[in-house]
């Protein structure tokens, strides 16, 4: 008898608050989840169940104790060493280097006859160029060594939610399975110039295992940044008039002109603001930079006050400002308001800033993961008949 779609199963590594799980949806069963961070693990448990996550170093996970045979293994391995803002250690770094124990687990699963049909990796776009492209070659080589064909897409969450958040997804399919939904050449918007350059750097052997994944472009996003804003947030307070004036005083003429234009819009305008260090006449100064393009700037893990995004709400001559609220950050990641966030502001921001946008995962599941697995299941049923 054919498996029902509700039988799709997966392991979730580097699980954070379970945003990949939220994106996969009710038709997927999580067999095992793991994260090193105790605070994130606690939030995962609050939302998905106490017994649903093992909080420990991935190096301590014994593959032979993992349950059943997952259809897919998801891994949002740490980005810090691959990020353009990071130290540049790449896959040799302490954090992003946890990619290798992840690969070792899948290798052991394969030796045990339980290799997943799909491996899905998520990370920052800087992965493509880290160490002049050598880290990306190493990732592809690792998938090839496990017996997978693979391809990569870059998806900007702004296609689905009002947040600028491009991320790289490397998706491998087991070599004995049909790779549905592929094209013979790159496809816009999923295959960016950076992906094409990374592909060109691959050795011929890896190019022969490469797949150009194909997905439809989603419908035009209907939600803007201003639609997600709370009038009375619980996690943050509105700035005083003086604090707002101080923020405006940190803006360059170009950014102040954006504010003046927003005043004339005739509707409430919400801009995302980041404080950045710039050089002005050879001197370092801190500037407040605002965008009024209906999307928020990319949420980042806070590491000091400058990483926390502020918002500027402009309604005619009335201007208000404050930190973006924790619930607003969750909404920008596509999480429903029923999702239970950590009580602490920084903890909540860290959780969402480190996560994967929920509707992006759903799009991948609908157009890539589920068709591949369903096709494989159908073939298994025919063989068993």
Please check whether residue 110 is in contact with residue 65, taking contact to mean a CB–CB distance below 8 angstroms.
no
Please choose, from the candidates 282, 279, 286, the residue with its C-alpha nearest in 3D space to the C-alpha of residue 307: 286
Domain range summary for the chain, segments of one domain joined by + = 5-219+352-384, 237-324
- Going 117 to 123 to 125 to 126, the CA torsion angle's sign is negative
Please check whether residue 334 is in contact with residue 358, taking contact to mean a CB–CB distance below 8 angstroms.
yes
Supply the pLDDT for residue 95: 55
Supply the pLDDT for residue 93: 58
Supply the pLDDT for residue 131: 86
**pLDDT 10s digits, 372-383:** 999 999 887 776
**pLDDT 10s digits, 254-286:** 999 999 999 999 999 999 999 988 887 788 889
- Cα separation, 385 vs 383, whole angstroms: 6
> Does 332 score more than 90 pLDDT?
yes
Supply the pLDDT for residue 96: 55
Cα–Cα distances in Å, from 304 out to 274, 276, 300, 327?
12, 12, 11, 20
- Cα separation, 88 vs 77, whole angstroms: 16
Supply the pLDDT for residue 359: 98
Read off the pTM.
0.93
**pLDDT 10s digits, 290-314:** 999 999 999 987 654 446 899 999 9
**pLDDT 10s digits, 98-153:** 899 999 999 999 999 999 999 999 999 999 998 899 999 999 999 999 999 999 99
Q: How confident is the model at residue 335 (pLDDT cuts 50, 70, 90)?
A: very high
Which tokens hold the place of 137?
A: 């070659």
> Does 175 score more than 70 pLDDT?
yes
SS3 track for the chain? CCCCHHHEEEEEECCCCCHHHHHHCCCEEEEEEEECCHHHHHHHHHHHCHHHCEECCHHHCCHHHCCCCCCEEEECCCCCCCCCCCCCCHHHCCCHHHHHHHHHHHHHHHHCCCCCCEEEEEEEHHHHCHHHHHHHHHHHHHHHHHCEEEEEEEEEHHHCCCECCEEEEEEEEECCCCCCCEECCCCCCCCCHHHHHHHHCCCHHHHCCECEECCCCCCCCCCCHHHHCCCCCCCCCCCCHHHHHHHHHCCCHHHHHHHHHHHCCCCCEEEEEEEEEEEECCEEEEEEEEECCCCECCCCCCCCHHHCCEEEEEECCEEEEEECCHHHHHHHCCCCCCCCCCCCHHHHHHHHHCCCCHHHHHHHHHHHHHHHHHHHHHHHHHHHC
Give the rounded distance of the alpha carbon of 259 from its chain centre.
30
Supply the pLDDT for residue 379: 80
The structure tokens 């998938």 sit at 143
Q: How confident is the model at residue 4 (pLDDT cuts 50, 70, 90)?
A: very low
Q: What is the mean pLDDT of residues 17-40?
A: 97
CATH topology of domain 5-219+352-384: Rossmann fold (3.40.50)
**pLDDT 10s digits, 337-362:** 999 999 999 999 999 999 999 999 99
């Amino acid at each position: 008898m054919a498996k029902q779609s509700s039988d799709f199963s997966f392991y979730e590594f580097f699980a954070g608050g379970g945003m990949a799980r939220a994106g996969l949806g009710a038709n997927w069963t999580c067999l095992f989840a793991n994260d090193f961070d105790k605070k994130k693990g606690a939030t995962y448990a609050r939302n998905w169940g106490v017994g649903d996550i093992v909080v420990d170093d991935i190096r301590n996970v014994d593959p032979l104790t993992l349950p059943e045979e997952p259809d897919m293994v998801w891994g949002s391995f740490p980005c810090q060493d691959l990020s353009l803002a990071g130290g540049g250690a790449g896959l040799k770094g302490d954090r992003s280097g946890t990619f290798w124990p992840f690969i070792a687990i899948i290798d052991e699963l394969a030796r045990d006859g339980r290799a997943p049909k799909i491996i899905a990796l998520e990370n920052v776009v800087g992965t493509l160029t880290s160490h002049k492209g050598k880290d990306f070659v190493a990732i592809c080589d690792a998938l090839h060594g496990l017996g997978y064909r693979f391809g990569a897409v870059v998806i900007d969450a702004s296609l689905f939610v009002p947040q600028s958040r491009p991320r790289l997804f490397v998706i491998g399919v087991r070599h004995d399975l049909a790779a549905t939904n592929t094209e013979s050449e790159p496809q816009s918007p999923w295959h960016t110039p950076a992906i094409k350059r990374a592909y060109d750097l691959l050795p011929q052997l890896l190019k022969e295992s490469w797949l150009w994944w194909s997905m439809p472009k989603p419908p035009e996003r209907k939600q803007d940044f201003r639609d997600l804003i709370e009038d009375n947030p619980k996690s943050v307070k509105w700035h005083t008039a003086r604090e707002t004036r101080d923020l405006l005083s940190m803006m360059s003429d170009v950014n102040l002109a954006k504010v003046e234009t927003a005043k004339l819009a005739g509707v409430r305008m919400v801009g995302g603001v980041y404080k950045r260090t710039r050089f002005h006449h050879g001197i370092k100064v801190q500037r407040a930079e605002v965008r009024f393009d209906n999307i928020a700037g990319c949420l980042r893990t806070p590491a000091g006050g400058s990483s926390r995004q502020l918002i500027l709400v402009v309604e005619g001559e009335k201007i208000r400002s404050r930190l973006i609220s924790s619930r607003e950050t969750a909404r920008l990641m596509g999480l429903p308001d029923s999702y239970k966030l950590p009580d602490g502001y920084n903890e909540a921001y860290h959780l969402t800033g480190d996560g994967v946008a929920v509707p992006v995962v759903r799009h991948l599941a609908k157009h890539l993961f589920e068709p591949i697995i369903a096709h494989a299941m159908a073939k298994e049923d025919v063989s068993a008949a």
